[in-house]
Amino acid sequence: MLKKIKHLMQRFAACCREYPKDRREFGRKVARVKFWDVLIPTGKSKRYIKVLSDYMIRELSSLTESYCQGKRADVTPKIQLEKTPVWVCWWQGEENAPPIVRTCINRMRKCLPETAQLHIITWDNLNDYVKLPDYIFDKFDKGLITNIHMTDILRYALVSTYGGAWIDSTVFLSDKIKEKLPEYLSRPYFTQRFKSWEECPKEACRGKWCNFFFMGQSTNPLFPYVYNALLLWWQKHDRLIDYVIVDYILWAGYCGVPAIRESIDAVGPNNPNIWLMEKHLNEPFVQEEYEKLLSCNSFFKLSYKGKLSEQTEDGKQTVYGYLLEENEK
């Protein structure tokens, strides 16, 4: 009980520090819902998501209108590469990535069709592909933009320029992807999607998209809309309204730009067991169960965070251990 009270008091102190900043920057309504969301961390409520969504719709109204009226010159074919690009990022380079990340990247190499080419973005080669504004790097150097939120900017900069697929470095592809990926890549837009918001009620994406696995054509206004919205945000602000700011930006585009809504609505529910493999990583490897697992999805989202073991306490190889061994071959 004392520990719970201590944690509550720590959260209360943090809320009191952040509330005046949020009120100055985003207004009283946003500040209030953020205060209670942190103080009583039951996960984002639908009211919280609505308040922040409404704020973002207002914030991006001019950008949204420009896309609706066809004034944007960036919704045109961009740079064409010989093969369809598949974009992955590990800022420090693949050789410095955690084992699970190297495993996922090796798996991509095995599963991608010959018509696609893997591009791994690092700090060393970033400028070979996209030129981000100086103020983005300035805010990154000051610690205002984190690695993760720099990656948000990168992923939409790349796909809005070249098209292709963005795949997070912790996405594990199953054999099913080999037959599915060419069709996914041919669409104007494709992403993982749930049947309804109720399957992920605490998520601002409302189950309609994800940002760790998406792809499409560079001519689709969805990609430059998100990229330009992120640039506008960081031009005006020094802090985020929410960690998953891209979901609120996409919602603003979904509500305000018919072409973006059509692209998102054209994607049917798919790959519902996206988190299932992660739940089993530390369990004993059983070939039959593993094959059953792979058959239920084309790809899975994993994580390099948390404790991962190659063997169980009684010395049996885990699913994680098998993945490392199999994908080093």
User: Would residue 52 count as lying in a domain?
Assistant: yes
User: Would residue 94 count as lying in a domain?
Assistant: yes
For residue 64, the enclosing domain spans 2-68
Secondary structure of residue 173 in the 3-state scheme: strand
User: Would residue 13 count as lying in a domain?
Assistant: yes
User: Would residue 75 count as lying in a domain?
Assistant: no
Backbone φ/ψ region at 187: left (φ over 0), alpha (ψ -120 to 50), beta: beta
User: Would residue 79 count as lying in a domain?
Assistant: no
261/295 same-domain check: no
User: Would residue 271 count as lying in a domain?
Assistant: no
Tens of each residue's pLDDT in the chain, 329 residues: 666 666 667 777 787 888 899 899 999 999 999 988 887 777 899 999 999 999 999 999 999 999 987 767 675 557 788 899 999 999 999 999 999 999 999 999 999 988 999 999 999 999 999 999 999 999 999 999 999 999 999 999 999 999 999 999 999 999 888 888 888 999 999 999 999 999 999 999 999 999 999 999 999 999 999 999 999 999 999 999 999 999 999 999 999 999 999 999 999 999 999 999 999 999 999 999 999 999 999 999 999 998 999 999 999 999 999 999 987 76
Instruction: Answer whether 255's CB lies under 8 Å from 228's CB.
Output: no
192/111 same-domain check: yes
Closest to 246 in 3D by CA, of 129, 122, 151: 151
140/284 same-domain check: no
Cα–Cα distance for residue pair 121/129, rounded to 1 Å: 9
160/284 same-domain check: no
Cα–Cα distance for residue pair 281/283, rounded to 1 Å: 6
Instruction: Answer whether 270's CB lies under 8 Å from 192's CB.
Output: yes
The continuous run of DSSP H or E covering 301 comes out as strand 299-301
Q: What is the pTM of this model?
A: 0.94
Cα–Cα distance for residue pair 295/292, rounded to 1 Å: 5
Question: What are residue 91's phi and psi, to 5 degrees?
Answer: -55, -35
User: Would residue 12 count as lying in a domain?
Assistant: yes
Q: How many structural domains are present in the chain?
A: 3
Domain end: 22, 39, 68, which one?
68
